[in-house]
Amino acid sequence: MNYQHIETKFEDGLGTITLNRPPVNILNIAMMEEIIRALKAWQESRELKVVLFDAKGKCFSAGVDVGEHMGDLAPKMIQVFHGIFRQMDKLDVPTAASVYGSCLGGGCELAVFCDLVIASDTAKFGQPEIQVGVFPPIAAQIMPRIIGRKAAMELILSGKIISAKEAYQIGLINKVVPQEGLDSATYEFVRPYLGLSAEVLRKTKKAINAGLRDELEPSLKIIEDIYLGELMKTHDANEGLNAFLEKRKPQWKNE
């Protein structure tokens, strides 16, 4: 398939999706739809063992297009963005992300939703959505399961940005390597899984998730209802997004 905003490659059981929307891989609806198409194209492959997300440009991803968070576009944005994670969930195979530079907002959600994350020592992770009057639905669903309730509350409620080293220390990612060695380290990171049975990997991931009773759909549906049905009807959510686009400080009304 030909894509405008991503590149894909499938070789020896490894399916790679490369974010390629210069300069900072802002995820707009068109790009997210391409990611879903790429994932769906691999849905029936019995040879697929790992899906890897990496990137070209200045950083992994600075997040979802803020302009598409607003007004009539918000439901479409949520539907398409969350479609990525629903499709990742359907694939069953292990997923990995190779991260460098800024990994923020929706970009951070995409990376940390993956089962395995390797990052360069330049990487920075964060969910700054709260600072523009919204919250990150995928992070709200997945982060407490990865790093525990307390750490997830701190990251999501403060919107602070942390280093790769701190992300590793709290268990948000698996490994930190020097920037100049990221490409070779990424291959070494995923290589052990490529020598295993694709079917056994699927069943093992399914068993781990079953052991956690960690089904994506029920909790994500509730989070979406809060986001679209409650949050986006508030003054402050719309004020925060508008203020970001207008490059000014938001004037909160607490309503």
What sign for the dihedral angle of Cα 196, 202, 203, 207? positive
255 token code pair: 């309503």
- The answer to whether the CB of 47 falls within 8 A of the CB of 36 is no
Closest CA to 87 of 34, 32, 40: 40
Q: How far apart are CA 133 and CA 238, in angstroms?
A: 7
> What is the residue type of 61?
S
Of 157, 6, 156, 128, which is closest to residue 64 (Cα–Cα)? 128
Q: Which residues of the chain form beta strands (DSSP E)?
A: 6-11, 14-19, 50-55, 95-99, 102-104, 116-120, 124-126, 161-163, 175-177
Phi and psi torsions of 79, nearest 5°: -60, -45
Is 129 in the active site? yes
Q: What are phi and psi of 45, to 5 degrees?
A: -75, 125
Q: How far apart, in whole angstroms, are the C-alpha atoms of residue 144 and residue 139?
A: 8
* Catalytic residue chosen out of the listed positions 33, 34, 47, 109: 109
**3-state SS, residue 240:** helix
Show the tokens assigned to 63.
Answer: 């997040």
Annotated catalytic residue: which of 129, 199, 215, 246?
129
Q: Is 239 a catalytic residue?
A: no
| Catalytic center residues | 109, 129
